Amino acid sequence: MLNNITTALEALPALPAPRRAALDALLKQGLPGKKDEDWRHTDLSILDQLSAADIAPSALNHDYPSAYEDGLDALNTALSGGTQTRTLEGKVELDTGLHQRLKLKVSGDVELVLQDITPSRFATFFAEIEVAPNSRLRLLRVQQADSQAQRLTNLKILLARDAQLDAVTVDLGGRFVRNDLYVHLNEPGAGVQLYGLYAPTGSEHVDNHSWIHHRAPHCSSREFFRGVVSGSARAVFNGKIFVHEKAIKTDSETRVANLLLSKTAEVYAKPELEIYNDDVKCAHGATFGQLDEDAVYYLRARGLDRDMARALLTQAFAQEIIEHISNDELREKITQRFLSRLPQGNTSGKA
């Protein structure tokens, strides 16, 4: 795998020294494998198909890190060509369909939409976002890539005093998708509300990992994910809450619910808590199931055919997440995209 990546990078007309350093770090550290607990159910060997066409050109105005957290961090730097720094204001949309490495600063009330704009086969999107005191970031990440696309996304969000994060993440496509989300509640009064929906179908694979660190007193976190898995698709969810020693009065909850629409669909879900003080209020849980056939029968008795009944019940399940998308246009588009991917197709009556 790494030989293939090296060949692709060295195919560039000129490989700048910082990108060469990132490549050397990647070769030294390697990529995670199935022996790593966080990668037990996700196989990175799909990156064997990487080619020079998947690599971003070098840029003069990018910064480069002096050290890398792991092999994937080095991979993103080698592929993206370094870090861009931006201050966000108002409403902003960024493209996750390209290799990018960003450092973003949020002050005030900011609405950020991350979605695939450029169609590409393979992309790594890494971003660190600092949210200033008394600021609010409303984040929507939407991944709707085609059935051959491969995506690696890594978001690190740092919350200062009384900063708030309201986030919705949606995965409705991609052959291979891995999303890593780190949230650090670094100062008192910080809070996060995180809602996620994943709906792989066919032979797609989507993996969502999150780490929420409560580092200060009087912080809160809510994490609710729902999965709708069909065909021979595989979904992975791991949400881990860390409550550090000084983070008294922490209030945290993580829940994940999964709906399996076929006998060959697979889901691995593992919410976790790691707590280092006693003055906390924490809860977590995971559920798995199929559609309620009694509910299907009830709807059919009122004139709906079986496909329509199943689609309505599945939509109601997913709507618990979709309803938190504040942008009306995007919410409607995501709803229609979700319905079109159900085994029975789009039964909403809309194109």
DSSP assignment of 211-230: EEEE-SSS-EEEEEEEEEE-
Could you tell me the pLDDT band of residue 63, with boundaries at 50, 70 and 90? confident
Write down the pLDDT at residue 350: 47
Residues 6+ away with beta carbon under 8 Å from 165: 131, 136, 137, 139, 157, 159, 183, 191, 192, 193, 194
> Could you tell me how far CA 320 lies from the centroid of its own chain?
18
pLDDT value for 57: 61
Strands, DSSP E only, in the chain?
84-88, 91-95, 100-106, 109-115, 122-131, 136-143, 150-159, 164-171, 176-185, 191-198, 205-214, 220-229, 234-243, 250-260, 266-275, 280-289
Q: What is the mean pLDDT of residues 17-43?
A: 88
- Please identify which residue in the block is written with the tokens 């709708």: 228
pTM above 0.85, yes or no: yes
> What would the pLDDT profile of 274-307 be if each residue is shown by its tens digit?
999 999 999 999 999 999 899 989 999 998 898 8
pLDDT at res. 119? 79
Confidence of residue 89 (pLDDT cuts 50, 70, 90): very high
Structure-model confidence comparison of residues 289 and 345, the more confident one: 289
**Segment 164-175 mean pLDDT:** 97
* Contacting residues for 285 by C-beta, under 8 A, at least 6 apart: 254, 255, 256, 271
**In the chain, domain spans:** 1-82, 84-291
What is the residue type of 62?
Answer: H
Among 44-53, 118-127, 162-171, 225-234, the minimum mean pLDDT is found in 44-53
User: Would you say 123 and 98 are in contact if contact means Cβ atoms under 8 Å apart?
Assistant: yes
What is the pLDDT at residue 7? 77
3-state helix, strand and coil shares in percent for the chain, rounded to the nearest 5: 25, 40, 35
Residue 54 pairs in a beta bridge with none
Q: Which 3 state secondary structure label does DSSP give 63?
A: strand
Share of the chain above pLDDT 90, in %: 68
Lowest mean pLDDT among 6-10, 219-223, 314-318: 6-10
- Kindly report which listed range (36-45, 49-58, 252-261) carries the lowest average pLDDT score: 49-58
| Alpha-carbon span 149 to 197, nearest angstrom | 18
Contact 81, 19 (CB under 8 A): yes
Q: Mean pLDDT highest for which of 88-97, 113-122, 135-144?
A: 135-144
pLDDT of residue 17: 82
How far apart are alpha carbons 242 and 84 in whole angstroms? Answer: 29
Q: What was the pLDDT predicted at 351? A: 35
pLDDT recorded at residue 56: 62
Output DSSP code: residue 132.
-
pLDDT value, residue 189:
98
Among the residue ranges 9-23, 69-83, 128-142, 145-159, the one predicted with the least confidence is: 9-23
Contact status, residue 210 vs residue 239, Cβ threshold 8 Å:
yes
pLDDT of residue 82: 78
Kindly report the number of other CB atoms within 10 A of residue 119's CB atom.
10
Whether 349 has a pLDDT exceeding 60, the answer reads no
pLDDT at 54: 65
Average pLDDT, the chain: 90
DSSP letter, residue 113: E
Q: What is the predicted pLDDT for the residue at 59?
A: 56
* 78 pLDDT higher than 90: no
- Tokens, residue 93: 């949309």
Whole-Å CA distances, 175 to 41, 47, 145, 206, 242: 15, 12, 8, 8, 31
Instruction: Say how far apart CA 43 and CA 62 lie, in whole Å.
Output: 30
Q: Which residues contact 289 (CB under 8 A, 6 or more apart)?
A: 258, 259, 260
Residue 225 exposed, middle or buried by CB count within 10 Å (0-12, 13-18, 19+): buried
